[in-house]
Structure 1
Amino acid sequence: MSGHTLKWQAEHANYHKLLDLLQSQTELFVHGEQPDYELMSDIVYYMTQYPDRFHHPREDVAFRQLLARDPTMESVVSELAGQHRRISESGVILAADLNAAAAGAMMSRATLEADVRKYVAFLKDHMNIEEREIFPRLAELLAETDWFLVDSAIHFAADPIFGDSVQERFRTIHRQIANQAGCGCKEPAERVCCLE
């Protein structure tokens, strides 16, 4: 694998942690407990503000570079690009629903639970397809000049949860993931944290 695809796999692993945390909050519904709607809202907000705006567009550029080298990948690339759009659209809707729930709006638990489960399953399946079918081809066929074009096409932004500095809004998410991972770190500033 190339350094770029390894980085994307690491980002996928981080997104899996967030989706697992989102799912675990949803599981509270099943047990008749109250989920942390603000935490859930922050997770989906992050997904719409970082992966949807930076990670997926970079992948789309790389996928187009791949098509120039291997046109037989067109159906897979086209499907994944379409999924990027659907992920973004469903994330915006889910974020609005969770914000409403966090603000106390009446909402069907069954609908919200189903929407979260569908969102989580769709994203996880999407990432698995990318890692299985596209990333190996990217690593094999893209040259450094191709990766330079990928890096140049989308303005870089530091990851607000998993980057060098955790933004204030996301500190609770960081702590929750660290607790689930069992690494014992309490603050993002701890450089030995398992999430770094």
Structure 2
Amino acid sequence: MNDRILQWQTEHANFTRLLDLVDAQTALIEHGEQPDYELMLDVMYYMTHYPDRYHHPHEDIACQVLLERDADVQAWVDDLAAQHRHIAASGEQLVRDLNAIVDGALVSRSAVEADAQAYTRTLREHMAREEERIFPALERTLSAEDWEQVDGRIDRIPDPVFGGDVDPRYSGLQQRIAEQVGCECTPVR
């Protein structure tokens, strides 16, 4: 399998770990308990600053190259781009909700719950679709030269949570991930 696709699958697994944290906190809201809104905000800050700005645009570029090679995937590529925009907007809404709560504003718990559930459900469904349809099509169609073109069209940064050197902004989040859901990372002490 192509190294880039393997990386994206690893990133999807990491994103799933974070969605699990959001879902666990959302379940607390659902049961009338107090969630860790700051943890949720840390997760969503990451989700709106790494996947939305680097992971998804990289996939979009690969899909544009795929479309140049296979016009029959037009509907898939259009759908994927629309999903990326929807996920970004949904994530930004949840960040606004969580920022407001952390800043002391009164925000409906049911609104936060609904926004969080919609975000995690949509992203999980999206990743499953990519892995079922898009990644195999990319694997079949793109050449090594195509992948070089894809990689050359985006600035890549190391993952600030799972990429080795943890960005200080995420040290608490990374430690919670290591403690609660496990990861291929060493907790920052």
Q: The TM-score by the shorter chain falls in which range?
A: over 0.9
Structure 2: distance between partners of 1:105 and 1:171: 26
1: CA distance between counterparts of 2:59 and 2:186?
32
- The separation in 1 between residues aligned to 2:32 and 2:92, in whole angstroms, is 26
Q: Quote the residue 2:127 is aligned against.
A: 127
Determine helix, strand or coil for the equivalent of 1:162: coil
- Structure 1 residue 31: Cα displacement: 2.6
1:31-46 pair list within 5 angstroms: 31-46=31-46
> What corresponds to 1:91 in structure 2?
91
Q: Alignment identity in percent?
A: 49
Q: Which residue of 2 aligns with 1:143?
A: 143
Distance in 2 of aligned mates of 1:169 and 1:36: 17
Q: Summarize the Cα distance change of 1:91–1:182 in structure 2 as closer, same or farther, 3 Å threshold.
A: closer
- Contact kept in structure 2, 1:165 and 1:188, CA below 8 Å: no
| Whole-angstrom CA distance in 2 between matches of 1:91 and 1:111 | 13
- Residue deviations 1:142-162 (CA, integer Å, cap 9, x gap): 011111111111111111100
**1:110 lines up with 2:132 in the alignment:** no
CA deviations 1:62-108 (Å, max 9, x no partner) are: 00111111111110110011111111112112111101111121111
Unaligned runs of 5+ in 1: 190-196
Structure 1 segments, 4+ long, off by >4 Å, are: none
Give the Cα separation in 1 of the matches to 2:72 and 2:110.
42
Residue of structure 2 equivalent to 1:5: 5
Q: What letter is aligned with 1:118?
A: A
Task: Flag the 1:74–1:182 CA change in 2: closer, same or farther, 3 A.
Answer: closer
- The root-mean-square deviation of aligned C-alpha atoms, in Å, is 1.7
Cα pair distance change 1:34/1:63, threshold 3 Å:
same
- Which range moves more in the overlay, 41-50 or 163-172? 163-172
Query: Residue 30 of structure 2 corresponds to which residue in structure 1?
Result: 30
Number of residue pairs the alignment of both structures matches: 189
| 2:55 is the counterpart of 1:81 | no
Matched-pair contact (CA < 8 Å) for 2:5–2:135 = yes
Normalization by structure 1: what TM-score? 0.91
Within-5 A mapping of 1:151-190: 151-181=151-181, 187-188=187-188
What is the alpha-carbon distance in structure 2 between the residues aligned to residue 22 and residue 60 of structure 1? 26
